[in-house]
């Protein structure tokens, strides 16, 4: 760590604090919703596709988070730590992507149901999310070689933090802009359907859609603020701060859906 400046050491600490906040949100969400999970899912003997997907999202996130904890806080002076850290770093990137896909699928199912199982809406949302996922996978798989060279020697004893170049940060920021576009699309579809239904005055159905509008608005508001903050860290953050908010955004999205 002797070649790191004071500002970079402060950035490392900020990065770890953000990861601790994200992990705390994850555990907190699981604990406060466990009772409702037992009441609404465990007591029903019939297993549906929606329930199966709920459990996948519910338990993949905390279990998949374990290697991420090692990535940020693993203390070791082993000679092969750089290799292990490189694999953990790659896993971290794909983990963030997979969680965002799971959250997006749940939003697609919700919108699909809201529009009365419209195939056009399904094609629009799935097509948009598919394009974003493909671009994101390409960004991760084609990470510039100079980025790997830049990170060598910067894997500190406590954790696997490494610098992110400005060029790579810009590429990742574009991926998150794509997710922001998808969230905006879901919100726009929810808003349009709700306002249209309220105009037709369908009684109790309007109340249900009003509730969906409220939940959708709250979810969008939380996600757009966190996504913008995450994008800002990529564009204007220091080398060790870039991408530090990605896990926080992931856990916040999962929290908003399950809370």
pLDDT of 259: 55
pLDDT of 106: 83
Residue 1 lies inside a defined structural domain of this protein:
no
Q: What is the pTM of this model?
A: 0.77
pLDDT of 179: 87
| Domains contained in the chain, number | 1
Residue 57 lies inside a defined structural domain of this protein:
yes
Percent of all residues in the chain with a pLDDT value above 70, rounded to a whole number = 80
Closest by alpha carbon to 185, among 212, 220, 211, 230? 220
Residue 188 lies inside a defined structural domain of this protein:
yes
pLDDT of 203: 47
pLDDT of 200: 62
Residue 110 lies inside a defined structural domain of this protein:
yes
CATH number at residue 193: 1.20.1070
Residue 180 lies inside a defined structural domain of this protein:
yes
pLDDT of 201: 53
pLDDT of 120: 93
pLDDT of 158: 65
Residue 186 lies inside a defined structural domain of this protein:
yes
Residue 237 lies inside a defined structural domain of this protein:
yes
Query: In which domain, by residue range, is 252 found?
Result: 6-258
Residue 183 lies inside a defined structural domain of this protein:
yes
Spans of the chain below 70 pLDDT? 1-3, 45-46, 143-158, 197-218, 221, 254-259
């Amino acid at each position: 760590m002797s070649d790191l400046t004071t500002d970079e050491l402060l950035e490392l600490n900020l990065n770890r604090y953000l990861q601790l906040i994200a992990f705390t949100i994850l555990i907190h969400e699981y604990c406060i919703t466990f009772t409702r999970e037992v009441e609404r899912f465990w007591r029903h003997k019939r297993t549906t596709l929606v329930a199966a997907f709920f459990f996948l999202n519910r338990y993949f996130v905390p279990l998949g988070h374990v290697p991420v904890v090692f990535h940020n806080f693993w203390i070791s002076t082993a000679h092969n730590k750089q290799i292990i850290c490189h694999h953990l770093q790659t896993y971290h990137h794909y983990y963030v992507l997979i969680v965002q896909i799971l959250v997006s699928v749940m939003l697609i199912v919700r919108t699909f149901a809201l529009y009365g199982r419209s195939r056009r809406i399904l094609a629009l949302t799935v097509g948009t999310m598919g394009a974003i996922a493909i671009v994101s996978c390409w960004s991760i798989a084609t990470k510039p070689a100079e980025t790997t060279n830049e990170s060598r020697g910067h894997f500190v004893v406590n954790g696997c933090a490494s610098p992110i170049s400005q060029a790579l940060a810009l590429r990742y920021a574009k991926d998150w802009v794509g997710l922001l576009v998808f969230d905006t699309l879901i919100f726009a579809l929810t808003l349009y359907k709700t306002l249209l239904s309220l105009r037709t005055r369908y009684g109790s159905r309007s109340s249900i859609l009003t509730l969906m509008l409220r939940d959708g608005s709250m979810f969008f508001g939380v996600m757009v603020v966190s996504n913008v903050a995450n994008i800002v860290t990529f564009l204007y953050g220091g080398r060790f701060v870039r991408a530090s908010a990605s896990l926080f955004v992931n856990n916040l999205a999962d929290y908003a859906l399950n809370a």
